[in-house]
Amino acid sequence: MTISANQIDERMRRFEQACRSARIKLTHQRIEIFREVAKTTDHPDAETVFQRVRERIPTVSLDTVYRTLWLLSDLGLITPLGPLRERTRFDANLARHHHFVCVRCGLTADFYSDLLDDLTLPEAVQALGQAETTRVEVHGICRACAERGPQPTHHPKTKQSQRNS
Amino acid sequence: MTISANQIDERMRRFEQACRSARIKLTHQRIEIFREVAKTTDHPDAETVFQRVRERIPTVSLDTVYRTLWLLSDLGLITPLGPLRERTRFDANLARHHHFVCVRCGLTADFYSDLLDDLTLPEAVQALGQAETTRVEVHGICRACAERGPQPTHHPKTKQSQRNS
DNA sequence: CTATTTGCAAATAATTTGCAGTGCG
DNA sequence: CGCACTGCAAATTATTTGCAAATAG
């Protein structure tokens, strides 16, 4: 919660602009849902946004929150973190390594780099807590998906495909 | 799937050793479940491990796979990736930044670093795919949790606590 | 006015748990 | 041979969807 009022206003303006460009309706709930995410630095999940928006719009429903969050992320106004519709995966590679994750199919490949193993973190991190492990996550399109040609990075819908093996 | 037989054997030995030290029973299903993860580089999820183990032990149940995977991760033999029992979070910070994630409470804080914004990736990454974004993920214990004193990093159990705000 | 969007309730999907029988050490 | 471990089925939790009513432009 360290966002200045100006910063929030700027984000709100960008949001309204983006909705108009996309010819998407500026509803009360969309405005408040976006404001709730734009307001904080704490990366709330859908349930948390729901609880907070509810204080101002007691009738919002959780599914509207979900729909709106994914819409906002399609518009490029917010970024989903973590469980990108993925299940937990398990890694038996105990050696120090980093990951390349395909944003389209979920393929997660290890790669190694002495350089990246030994990064210097800014002092700001010290203030946050005691760092234990540092890993570089590279997101992109894997070879196989690139060959399959351009495809929409569809979100919701059905089960996440498993492009491993 | 580029693990040498030797490498797998070594992992299996380490696994058996760890189970004995922890005085945990070396059951048929545990052995095969661990082997399945140790065998590949593709970071399978629980369902995938289940399907593969099933071919050799047709009676294993999915819940045993889940239980075993978390057990193995408690023993430090495998590492869970991605959705660490977390829900998807949303981030309205469109500026380039990195994350500090508390492994205990899930707090996810942004931090900035020009140095980290401009990392040089090894050539190996080129072979994997087209990199789009690169982010550094620092995992550790946040200030608040550190003050709360040492606590077991319990996994299963109840709902993930939300140490944000 | 009219196509979008919402809220509701019910459907899916992923994961966890209680319990009685089974097998490792 | 006893207690840890398993399989089953049922419970939970997170998220998505179909549909009729509400509403922004």
Quick: pLDDT tens for B102-152.
887 778 899 999 999 999 999 999 999 999 999 999 999 999 888 876 654
Same domain (yes/no): A54, A106: no
Would A104 be classed as within a structural domain?
yes
What pLDDT, on the 0 to 100 scale, is given for residue A165?
A: 31
Would B82 be classed as within a structural domain?
no
Which nucleotides of strand C lie within 7 A of protein CB? Answer: 4-10, 13-18, 23-25
Using alpha carbons, list the distances in angstroms from residue A80 to A47, A72, B88: 14, 10, 6
Are A103 and A68 contained in the same domain? Answer: no
Question: Would B42 be classed as within a structural domain?
Answer: yes
Same domain, A68 and A103: no
At B29-73, the pLDDT tens digits run 999 999 999 999 989 999 999 999 999 999 999 999 999 999 999
CATH number at residue B46: 1.10.10.10
Same domain, B70 and B102: no
Structure confidence at residue B85 as a pLDDT band (50, 70, 90): low
**A122/B112 Cβ within 8 A:** yes
In this structure, the answer to whether residues A123 and A70 fall within a common structural domain is no
Closest-CA distance, B108 to chain A, in angstroms, reads: 7
Check pLDDT > 50 for residue A158: no
d(CA A61, nearest CA chain B) in Å: 18
Query: Is the CB of residue A156 inside 7 Å of nucleic acid strand D?
Result: yes
Give chain B positions within 8 Å (CB) of A103: 132
pLDDT in the model for residue B135: 93
B18 plus B63 within the same structural domain: yes
**B157 sits within 7 Å of strand C by its CB:** yes
The reply to whether A89 has its C-beta less than 7 Å from any atom of strand C is no
Q: Is residue B152 one of the residues assigned to a domain?
A: yes
Using CA coordinates, name the residue in chain B closest to A135: B137
Residue type, A8: I
CA dist., res. A118 & res. A102, Å (int): 24
Nearest to A128 among B42, B100, B125 (CB): B100
Chain A residue numbers touching B133 (CB-CB < 8 A): 138-140
Does residue B106 sit in the same domain as residue B60?
no
Q: Is residue A90 included in any domain, yes or no?
A: no
Lowest mean pLDDT among A97-111, B78-92, B97-111, B144-158: B144-158
> Is pLDDT above 70 for A83?
no
Considering only CB atoms, B92 lies closest to which of A78, A111, A128, namely: A78
SS3 label, residue B108: strand
Closest CA to B79 of B66, B67, B70: B70
Residue A1 is predicted with a pLDDT of: 62
What is each CA distance from A91 to A103, A108, B34, B114, B152, in whole angstroms?
19, 10, 10, 30, 21
Same domain, yes or no: A70 and A22: yes
What is the reported pLDDT for B148? 74
The mean pLDDT value for A78-83 works out to 81
Query: Please, which residues bridge with residue A98 across strands?
Result: A111
Query: What average pLDDT score do residues A76-88 get?
Result: 80
Residue A27 has a CB neighbour count (10 Å cut-off) of 12
Query: Per the structure block, which two tokens stand in for A14?
Result: 């960008």
In the listed set B74, B89, B106, which residue is the last one of a domain according to the structure? B74
Within this chain, do residues A11 and A49 fall inside the same structural domain, yes or no?
A: yes
pLDDT band at A148 (very low <50, low <70, confident <90, very high): confident
In A39-163, where does DSSP find H-type helix?
46-54, 62-74, 114-117, 123-128, 143-147
Closest by Cα among A36, A110, A111, A46 to A83: A46
* Contact state of B122 with A113 under an 8 Å Cβ cutoff: yes
Q: Which range marks the domain in which residue A68 is found?
A: 5-74
H-helix segments, chain A: 5-21, 28-38, 46-54, 62-74, 114-117, 123-128, 143-147
* B42 & B103 share domain: no
| A8 inside 8 A of chain B by CB | no
Is any atom of nucleic acid chain C found less than 7 Å from the CB of residue B25? yes
Q: What's the structural domain count of chain B?
A: 2
Q: In this predicted model, which residue has the larger pLDDT, A165 or A22?
A: A22
The strand pairing partners of A139, in sequence order, are: A101, B133
| Domain finish residue from B32, B58, B74 | B74
A102 with A144, same domain: the answer is: yes
| Portion of chain A with pLDDT greater than 90, in percent | 72
- Output the pLDDT for position A106: 78
- Give the domain-ending residue among B13, B39, B74: B74
Q: Angle B35-B37-B43 (CA atoms, 0-180°, nearest 5)?
A: 165
Proximity of residue A35 CB to strand C below 7 A: no
Q: Is residue B69 part of a domain?
A: yes
* Whether the Cβ atoms of residue B97 and residue B112 lie closer than 8 Å to each other: yes
- The answer as to whether A121 is a domain residue is yes
Chain B positions in Cβ-Cβ contact with residue A37 (cut-off 8 Å): 90-92
A129/B135 CB distance under 8 A: no
Cβ contacts below 8 Å, chain A against chain B, sum to 259
CATH number of the structural domain spanning residue A123: 3.30.1490
Same domain membership, residue B106 and residue B54:
no
